[in-house]
A and B are shown apart, each in its own frame.
Chain A
Amino acid sequence: MTNERYDAVVIGAGMSGLAAGIRLAQFDKRVVVLDRHSLWGGLNSFYKRGGRRFDTGLHALTNWVPATEKSTPLPKLLRQLRIPREELQLAEQSHSIVKVGAVSLEFGNGIGRLEASVAHAFPREIDGFRRLVSAIQAHDPFSDVVDASSARVRLGEWLRDPLLIECLIVPVAFYGSAREDEVEWDLFVVLFRSMFLEGLARPMGGIKTLLDALKKRFLDCGGILRMRSGVSRIVRDAHGAACGVQLDDGELLACERVLSSAGRVETQRLCDVPPQPAEVGQLSFCETTSVLSQPTRSLGHTATMVFFSTSEHFAYRRPAGLIDTTSGVVCASDNYAHHEFGEAGIVRVTCLANHAVWSGLDDEAYAAAKTQVAQEMLAAAGRVALDPRPWTSAFDMFTPKTIHRYTGHVNGAVYGSPVKARDGSIGVDKLHLIGTDQGTLGIIGSLLSGVTAANRHILMANQR
């Protein structure tokens, strides 16, 4: 190994890896963040095509609160990272919609609009809904006690109409459930707060604004960022504890601790620990991005997000075929308070997809499938929100195969393994999972995961 010994090696320059790196570098730890890809950001990144920047991920930043609010996850997180909120230039959503079967609900930032919408569509349920909201407000989302019971079942304590329950499950599942057909109660509570009690916003300039702020902060604190540096193996000492990593080109880096955002099964493989089949995530997505020749709102579609299921029995699972267009998300990235796109509009459609089917296709069939599936997805968007095709000036699309290629997540599983490791442990000493498979999802969740892991496993451990 080289003489240099790091306090920590962080695998992955996604949200969680950069956040952990900042915390460590901020307090003079010797830390290197490694990523196999040439661009940082992980699942939430950006790329250029035809002179235009496309975001991957980022429909909405959750947990938006007014700048005066200090005690919720977003302000706490920014404080820990010492990134001023103004740097993110957050713009609020206009409003969003949940459509299940023939019913539709609206929500905005703060619970008011959703509450009014429930009162209108489900008048007999409104008292129960208010009690549900109070119960969620009282729940401590940062507690270490895990309540993995079924959210559908738990919601029955307050709500009688299964259709209303489904309306609440659809957006929450799409925003972060790694388990097929199920949302765990704890996760439901965290996501309900971050989407409905708090709210949705978008940094001006998209994900790049946030990523630039994170990267700058990390480098300013003295952290080392190495792109195109994939980890092929986690090195373990005679006692089995992690003590370094080996890169794809054979280089060895020695360290005190390894933090990995590669995912549970991916990290197990790096340690030569065979994963259990139940630990392998199955949920992946296709997403289309259509750039429109005029603002989306000028076409009569003013919502920011539309979460939909055409069936009253929402099937949140890997489809048998390429795609399932009976449910999904339609996001108009230009329907935020800022109007940074000028005269253009941007509409993105996301639906559940099957990684195995996509990766079984040869090049020609893959290209043909993309064209075919894109048409189905855009038509589906037209049935619930807006069909962007007549106004499209540029178009791109990714599949589960793309996600796997750029992030290494097995099966292109965006939300990772259904088995989360709250304490970050996969049974290897001095190795901690961060990000998606530590159990906190989405952009804010992953950032918090990196912060918490750095605090708990390294900064506080050093104080003892």
Chain B
Amino acid sequence: MTSEEIILAIKDIIQTIAPDEDLSELKTDVRLRDQIELDSMDFLDIVMELRKRYGVQVPEEDYKELATLDGCVAYLTPHMQGKTLKVGV
């Protein structure tokens, strides 16, 4: 998956969890929780969805790597290799 696709994958997951948030203006280098209302329970859901959709396991100590969209790309790129983007599931 490309960096753009990973960002799309994450945004789609966030939209599933928080359908009322506007994600069109999200900056990739700013912490997600500073831009939209996301708490630790929501981060658990992002991780659970990554696992459900892409079979990617993120251990609890690595949650912090997912704080920004850029962080997501850096952390997930090796794990998402060869996987196909699933949106709107």
Q: Give A residues with C-beta under 8 Å from B.
A: 26-28, 70-71, 76, 79-80, 82, 84, 451, 455, 459-460, 463-464
Given contacts A27-B52, A84-B19, A463-B58, contact A455 B37 (CB under 8 A): no
A434 to chain B, nearest CB (A): 16
Do A463 and B47 touch across chains, with their CB atoms under 8 A apart?
A: yes
How many interface residues does chain B have, given as a range? 10 to 19
Knowing A28-B52, A82-B16 touch, does A464 contact B60 (C-beta < 8 A)? yes
Q: Looking at A70, A455, A463, which has the most chain B CB atoms within 10 Å of its CB?
A: A463
* Majority secondary structure of chain B interface residues (helix, strand, loop or mixed): helix
Assembly CA distance A79 to B37 (angstroms) = 11
**B23 interface contact, C-beta 8 A:** no
Q: When the two chains form their complex, are residues A80 and B37 in contact, meaning their CB atoms are under 8 A apart? A: no
Within 8 A of A (CB), among B46-80: 47-48, 51-52, 57-60
Q: List 7 A-B residue pairs with CB atoms under 8 Å apart, sorted by A's residue number.
A: A27-B51, A71-B37, A80-B45, A451-B41, A463-B44, A463-B59, A464-B59
A80 and B52 within 8 A (CB): no
Say whether B39 contacts A76, CB under 8 Å: yes
Q: Do B41 and A80 touch (CB < 8 A)?
A: yes
Residues of B within 8 A of A80 (CB): 41, 45
Q: How far is the CB of B63 from chain A (nearest CB, A)?
A: 9
Minimum Cβ distance to chain B for residue A202 (Å) = 22
Q: Which residues of B contact A (CB under 8 A)?
A: 16-20, 37, 39, 41-42, 44-45, 47-48, 51-52, 57-60
Given the complex of chains A and B, what is the CA–CA distance between A82 and B48 in angstroms? 14
* Contact status A460-B17, CB under 8 Å: no
Enumerate chain B residues within 8 angstroms of A26, measured Cβ to Cβ: 48
| Chain B residue at minimum C-beta to C-beta distance from A28 | B52
Name the distance in Å between A315's Cβ and chain B's nearest Cβ: 39
Q: List chain A residues, Cβ under 8 A from B58.
A: 463
Bound CA–CA A27/B37 (angstroms): 22
Contacts of A463 in B (CB 8 A): 44, 47, 57-60
Contact A460–B42 (Cβ < 8 Å) = no
Q: Which of A27, A70, A84, A455 contacts B41 (CB 8 A)?
A: A455
Q: Is the CB of B37 within 8 A of A70?
A: yes
Q: Is the CB of B44 within 8 A of A460?
A: yes
B37–chain A nearest beta-carbon distance, Å = 4
